[in-house]
Amino acid sequence: MEAADVEDTPGAPVPWVRAARGARDVVEAALRRRDLTPRARERLEMVKAVALGYPLAEVARWSGRTERTVGRWLAAFAAGGVGAVADAPRAGRPPRADAAYLVALERAADTPPRTLGLLFDAWTSDRLSAYLAETAGVRIAPGWLRALLARRRYRPGRPKHTLGHLQDAAARAACEQELRAVGGKGGDGHRGVRVPLPG
């Protein structure tokens, strides 16, 4: 379907069209930004469509919004530009997991607990929550912490369980030296004699 000229349609809000066409380069530049929220992107696409000459009814049809909603966002753009189509700040408590907390979370999750002086080899959400409450000063429930890690596509690795840290280094070195001296198989380097087991 070819785009109709919005200015030629009866009752078309001419100020919207003029604002959209006058700021087409600004809208194109804003649409190239990677940090644009999906809702602001949708609204700017509406503005772009009007700037390209599509009628309000067609923009409403492909966007899945009512003509009234599309008209409201076009009027907001005409009055305030690109910034006017962004979502207003939402009411409520500010998030406890701010950017600094998320950085601390990723850093801790990627660091083996032993290197931080802790007495365990693997993180659990309870341990990670307690550690971050102590170091970052923000307590977040373990279940919510798991959700934050999943959003950031964090996949924990399997811990490598060894007993090397519990062994006496001097005794281990003495045993290895004795094994090298005997050749690892027996005193003379020959195979030992096999004796059948009774029964």
Q: What does the pLDDT look like over 149-183, one tens digit per residue? A: 888 777 655 556 677 777 888 888 888 888 888 87
Cα-based angle 66, 51, 15 (whole degrees, multiple of 5) = 75
pLDDT in tens, the chain (199 residues): 334 444 444 554 456 676 777 777 788 888 888 887 888 889 888 888 888 888 889 989 988 899 999 888 888 888 888 888 888 777 777 677 888 888 898 899 889 999 999 998 888 889 999 999 999 888 888 888 888 888 877 765 555 667 777 788 888 888 888 888 887 655 455 555 565 667 5
Distance from C-alpha of 23 to C-alpha of 77, rounded to nearest angstrom? 10
How confident is the model at residue 90, as a pLDDT? 73
The upper half-sphere exposure of residue 115, i.e. CA atoms within 13 Å in the direction of its Cβ, equals 6
How confident is the model at residue 21, as a pLDDT? 73
Distance of CA 90 to the CA centre of its chain: 21
Q: What does the pLDDT look like over 12-23, one tens digit per residue? A: 445 667 677 777
Tokens of 140: 């977040």
How confident is the model at residue 190, as a pLDDT? 54
How confident is the model at residue 24, as a pLDDT? 77
Distance from C-alpha of 143 to C-alpha of 63, rounded to nearest angstrom? 36
